[in-house]
A and B are shown apart, each in its own frame.
Chain A
């Protein structure tokens, strides 16, 4: 009985990945036929990027293990749940600014936290504040000046809260995650 129940789910799950990969393959075949150098360049660059990010997979794994171990539902609910209040906003702002790295490193951790009760508003605020990159501020100042950098940084922080509030109003159901069936 269990086997019969599992088979359609597995087929459905793999169908999604197959459709996605079919699209990628078709796009590359078309580009290869129309603009061969562009397709080859893109394939080579993807290969180089993948080699570069191989160590990041180790980091992703470590973050996932740690988040599974320590980000308990109680802890997430307390600091990022419905009752978190002002503390939740402050944490979302600070963590968003301080946490570095590409988004795909953070998605698995956020997904895990979301299942444990992370509110949409805090997740959106956290993600938006990742645009305030402290190590890159000197580079931005070099190219555009300190006034520009200061104004834009402050606006990003302010708008991160609006971002969280609006996405919270849109009210994305947490149950949506179960449809995707990843990491359960």
Chain B
């Protein structure tokens, strides 16, 4: 494949990708704004319940990883458990419900769905392990 052919192919791919990306961004921004309104009201103080709530809130959110650290830091200051905060940070970066249509379109539906399910489970496991290891260290 020469440069011209590969540029044409790339242009065609981009043309197909852009409408999906715009739609995904519209949905992601909406879900994100909606979720952020309820962040502080979500947590109950229940250790296990909060972990799931944190994981779900992170899964629905979308944006730079740095934003999740800032929000997670605020949660921590407000007394939310480290387990829930970790689950929130982990799913923020590893689970992308809003990005799912694009991921499915590009990498395959089955792969995208299974990857997100698995990442959600792993986020909770990693959260538990992180807190346990930190307790052991200290």
Residue numbers of A with Cβ under 8 A of B are: 17, 20-21, 24, 27-28, 31, 38-39, 41-43, 45-46, 49-50, 57, 60-61, 64-65, 68-69, 103-104, 107-108, 110-111, 114, 120, 123-124, 127-128, 130-131, 133, 136, 139-140, 143-144, 147-148, 151-152, 155-156, 159, 162-163, 166-167, 170, 172-173, 176-177, 180, 182-183
Contact = CB atoms under 8 A, between A and B. Distances in A.
A65 B119 contact: no
Q: Is the interface of B mostly helix, strand, loop or mixed?
A: helix
A179 B34 CA distance: 33
Interface string B18-52: 11111111110110011001000000000000000
Interface residues of B, number: 65
Contacts of A151: 129-130, 133-134, 137
Interface of B: 1, 3, 5-7, 9-14, 16-27, 29-30, 33-34, 37, 65-66, 69-70, 72-73, 76, 82, 86, 90, 93-94, 96, 99, 101-103, 105-111, 114-115, 118-119, 122, 125-126, 129-130, 133-134, 137-138
A143 B72 contact: yes
Given A144-B73, A183-B13, A17 B20 contact: yes
Contact of B122 (A17, A130, A163): A163
A61 B17 CA distance: 11
Nearest to A64: B10
B110 A152 contact: no
A136 B66 CA distance: 7
B29 A107 contact: no
A60 B102 CA distance: 15
A172 B6 contact: no
Given A60-B14, A111-B107, 19 more contacts: A21-B23, A38-B37, A39-B30, A45-B33, A49-B29, A65-B7, A69-B1, A103-B103, A104-B21, A107-B102, A131-B65, A131-B93, A136-B66, A148-B82, A148-B134, A152-B130, A155-B130, A167-B111, A182-B106
